[in-house]
Every structure is written in structure tokens, then in C-alpha cells.
């Protein structure tokens, strides 16, 4: 085998690119239900007279469900004893079916239950996809997992395009996202097979979690990942509301108190522009993940992570100064933040695959995502708390503490 730039024998499996494309497409389609509730939040907000804090729970519920699903999966070693192909397909079908309940539930509390159950089902979609990509690549594993996480990012952004399409309805958004997730299940079930670097499966063991947590490199990688997650989903969840409030402050909208969740009577063109930018801010992270993977394979994962977190943390500290100002300043800053806020995400997962015994990789990845998403359920609620006390101009500044803490952990790992 040919040596690669980082000294690891290059990947030569003939089907590796086709399988990577298949997994990436499946992840893009499969994760589209994640933000379905948040994307249609304006309609749900009017239906049930929700406050801005309640709107945030449409995303927090998914996070909590995902945490519960991944915790159960880790406890039962599902990712290491069930074939990734089967786990992905079954979980995606469950998520698609549960997502279809959102338009028909009669109350906000029941809507939260459906979002939590959808998140729990997605626990069998996200970690297995990273593991599947890793079985086909070793020298370029950072790029491969980066491509999958990038596809996931674009998939999550998809529902935010809803209000760019004239006449779109809540039911239409839900039906399209559920259909996409069901298609992802079919793609993996019919087309995927493990690559030459497949991780060995093993029987259930209560000791597998202990094996993972005793590994120092895993703990340090987790420290960086938690700092990254403290920022990521809070930004993704609240950037649409931030943009709407900024447009209102700039005079682009009619009356309406955006700071307190009152949508007002917004001109359709401005709402469409905000929806398009919200999509772009999240979707640009797909390019960021791919860039981060390619660069990490060349300069080292730890170094790439430090660079990405430093830039994203700076954006969080600065974006408040653009609030209420020109979109020619706000939009580029939001897009740069969107690019770097997730450019390092896949590399934490790759560090995990390289820091634990091969038979524990699935459980290690599942534990990583479970703890990270558990943290997001807290930090997502910090943004409206900060906004209520200091205004939207300072709402995101608190998130910069996450990347700072993550950099400390990763520098120790190096």
C-alpha cells in the first residue's frame, strides 16, 4: 500500500468513494427531521401562543430524546453488537414515522413528546454513520468522517428552507423530511456494506463503558468535544431568531416584539431572506466539515481543532456588535461562524475512534454524542436567559466560553 502524507498506508479499497457517497447521502437525508420542529416554529408559535423560551424547547426536546437514546444504546452496547447497517435503517424508519405525528398532535406538550421520541430514534442514525464511514478509510479517516458530519449538517439545515417556498405548510415540511429519512433507511439497507477496516463486534459487557472512560485520550477528546457542543447547537437553534430580531431592529419588518417571541406582521420577502440565511448559516458547515477533515489529515487533528475553535469563539464574541446593522456585515460574520463552528466536529469523533480499543469504538462514539448532546440541553436555554437580561446584542457572547474551555483540553491532548 502507498504511504500517505501522515505516514499511514493510503486507503485503496476500490469501493471506498462510492460507499462514502452513499453514507453521506443517507446521513443528509436521515437527519433532515432533526430541526423539522424548529423550522416550522413560527406556525406552531401562532397556533399555541408560544413564548420564545417554549420555542427553544422544540429543539431541546430533540436533544433530550437523543441523549436518552444514545445513553441507552451505550449502556446496552448496541453500536458494537448490532450491525451498523441494521441499526441505522431501523432507527431511521422509526424517526420518519414519529416525525409524521407533529402536525396532528393537539397540544404543545404532546408536540414535545414527539420531538423527544424522534431524537431518541436518531440516536441510531448519527453514531453508526460515522462508524460506517470509518470502516472504509484509515489514512483519510478525518476527511471521511468530516464528509459524513458535513452531510448531516446540510441535512439538518434543510427544513429551514421551508419558508423560502411560497405557500409551504407545516404538514408539507413534515412530510418531506419524513420521506427523506425513510429514503435514507432504504439506501443503507440496500446499498451499504462494511469496508476493510471494519471494527470487530463483541458480546454484551457491562465493562465496555469502563474500558472507554478509563482511557485518558478519550477523556481529553471529550473535554474538547464538550466545549465544542456547548456552542454549536445553541448557535444553530437561536440564529434564526437572532436574525429576525436584527432585521426588526434594522427596520426591515413591521411592528412586532421579536425580543419576546412576538412574530408581528413580517413582510414575506424579509422572512424568506431570514429563512434562506438561516439555512445557509447551518449548511455552510457542511463545507466546513469537509475542509476540516482534509486539513486535519495533513496538519493533525488537534491543531485543526484549536484553530477552528479559536475562530468560532471569536465570532461568537463579535456577532453581537453587528446586531441591528447592515446585512452586508451581519451575514458574512454569521456565515464565517457557521463554517468554523462545526469544522472541527468530525475530528473529535475520529480522535475517539483512534483512542479506544477497536471493539469499543461504537460504544465510545455513542457515549461521546450522548454526553455532548446532554450539555446542549442546558446551553440552548442559556441564550434566551442572556437575551432577557442583556438583549440580543449580547445573547451569543456567553457561548464563547465553550471553545475556550475546549482549546484548553485539546492542548493537553497534544
CATH number of the domain that 358 lies in?
A: 1.20.1250.20
* Cβ 228 vs Cβ 348: under 8 Å: yes
Domain count, the chain: 1
Q: Residues 269-305: pLDDT tens digits?
A: 777 788 888 889 988 998 999 899 899 989 998 999 9
Sign of the alpha-carbon torsion through 376, 380, 385, 391: positive
Q: What per-residue confidence (pLDDT) applies to 255?
A: 41
Nearest to 335 by CA among 279, 271, 392: 279
Per DSSP, what are the bridge partners of residue 222? none
- pLDDT surpasses 50 at 266: no
DSSP H helices, 51-196, are: 52-75, 78-81, 84-99, 108-122, 126-134, 141-157, 170-191
In a domain, 9, yes or no: no
Sign of the alpha-carbon torsion through 155, 180, 164, 391: negative
Nearest to 199 by CA among 366, 1, 370: 366
How far is Cα 188 from Cα 87, in angstroms, rounded to an integer?
Answer: 10
Q: Residues 31-63: pLDDT tens digits?
A: 889 888 877 887 888 899 888 778 878 888 998
In a domain, 276, yes or no: yes
Q: What are phi and psi of 3, to 5 degrees?
A: -75, 145
- pLDDT surpasses 60 at 106: yes
How far is Cα 310 from Cα 342, in angstroms, rounded to an integer?
Answer: 12
pTM of the predicted protein model: 0.76
Domain residues for the domain of 40 are 16-191+209-413
In a domain, 6, yes or no: no
Region of 389 (left: φ > 0; alpha: ψ -120 to 50; beta: rest) is alpha
In a domain, 196, yes or no: no
Residues contacting residue 316 through CB under 8 Å, at least 6 positions apart: 231, 235, 337, 396, 397, 399, 400, 403
In a domain, 199, yes or no: no
Confidence tier at 369 by pLDDT (50, 70, 90): confident
How far is Cα 244 from Cα 94, in angstroms, rounded to an integer?
Answer: 33
Higher pLDDT: 215 or 108? It is 108
How far is Cα 249 from Cα 266, in angstroms, rounded to an integer?
Answer: 13
In a domain, 307, yes or no: yes
In a domain, 108, yes or no: yes
How far is Cα 224 from Cα 411, in angstroms, rounded to an integer?
Answer: 9
Q: What is the mean pLDDT of residues 241-245?
A: 90
In a domain, 10, yes or no: no
Nearest to 359 by CA among 212, 159, 140: 212
Amino acid at each position: 500500500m502507498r504511504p500517505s502524507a501522515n505516514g499511514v498506508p493510503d486507503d485503496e479499497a476500490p469501493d471506498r468513494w462510492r460507499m462514502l457517497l452513499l453514507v453521506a447521502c443517507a446521513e443528509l437525508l436521515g437527519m433532515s427531521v432533526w430541526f423539522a420542529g424548529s423550522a416550522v416554529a413560527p406556525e406552531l408559535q401562532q397556533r399555541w401562543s408560544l413564548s420564545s423560551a417554549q420555542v427553544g424547547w422544540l429543539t431541546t426536546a430533540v436533544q433530550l430524546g437523543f441523549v436518552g437514546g444514545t445513553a441507552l444504546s451505550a449502556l446496552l452496547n448496541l453500536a458494537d453488537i448490532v450491525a451498523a447497517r441494521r441499526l441505522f435503517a431501523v432507527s431511521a424508519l422509526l424517526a420518519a414515522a414519529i416525525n409524521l405525528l407533529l402536525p396532528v398532535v393537539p397540544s404543545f406538550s404532546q408536540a414535545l413528546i414527539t420531538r423527544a421520541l424522534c431524537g431518541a430514534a436518531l440516536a441510531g442514525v448519527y453514531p453508526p454513520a460515522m462508524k460506517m464511514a470509518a470502516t472504509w478509510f484509515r489514512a483519510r479517516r478525518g476527511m471521511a468522517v468530516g464528509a459524513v458530519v458535513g452531510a448531516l449538517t446540510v441535512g439538518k439545515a434543510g427544513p429551514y428552507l421551508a419558508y423560502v417556498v411560497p405557500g409551504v405548510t407545516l404538514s408539507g415540511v413534515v412530510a418531506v423530511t419524513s420521506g427523506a429519512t425513510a429514503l435514507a433507511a432504504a439506501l443503507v439497507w440496500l446499498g451499504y456494506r462494511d469496508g476493510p477496516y471494519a471494527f470487530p463486534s463483541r458480546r454484551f459487557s457491562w465493562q465496555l463503558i469502563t474500558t472507554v472512560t478509563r482511557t485518558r485520550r478519550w477523556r481529553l477528546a471529550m473535554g474538547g468535544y464538550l466545549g465544542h457542543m456547548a456552542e454549536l447547537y445553541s448557535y444553530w437553534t437561536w440564529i434564526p431568531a437572532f436574525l429576525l430580531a436584527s432585521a426588526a431592529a434594522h427596520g426591515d419588518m413591521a411592528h412586532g416584539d421579536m425580543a419576546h417571541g412576538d412574530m408581528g406582521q413580517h413582510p414575506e420577502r424579509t422572512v424568506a431572506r431570514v429563512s434562506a440565511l438561516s439555512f445557509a448559516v447551518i449548511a455552510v458547515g457542511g463545507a466546513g466539515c469537509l475542509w476540516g477533515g482534509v486539513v486535519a489529515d495533513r496538519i493533525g487533528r488537534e491543531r485543526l481543532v484549536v484553530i477552528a475553535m479559536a475562530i468560532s469563539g471569536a465570532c461568537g464574541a463579535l456577532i453581537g456588535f453587528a446586531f441591528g446593522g447592515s446585512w452586508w456585515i451581519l451575514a458574512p460574520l454569521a456565515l464565517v461562524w457557521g463554517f468554523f463552528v462545526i469544522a472541527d466536529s468530525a475530528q473529535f469523533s475520529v480522535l475517539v475512534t483512534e483512542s479506544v480499543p477497536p471493539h469499543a469504538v461504537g460504544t465510545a462514539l455513542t457515549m461521546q454524542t450522548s454526553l455532548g448532546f446532554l450539555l446542549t440541553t442546558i446551553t440552548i436555554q442559556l441564550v434566551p436567559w442572556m437575551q432577557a437580561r442583556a438583549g440580543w446584542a449580547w445573547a451569543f457572547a456567553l457561548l464563547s466560553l465553550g471553545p475556550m474551555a475546549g482549546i484548553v483540553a485539546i492542548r493537553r491532548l497534544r
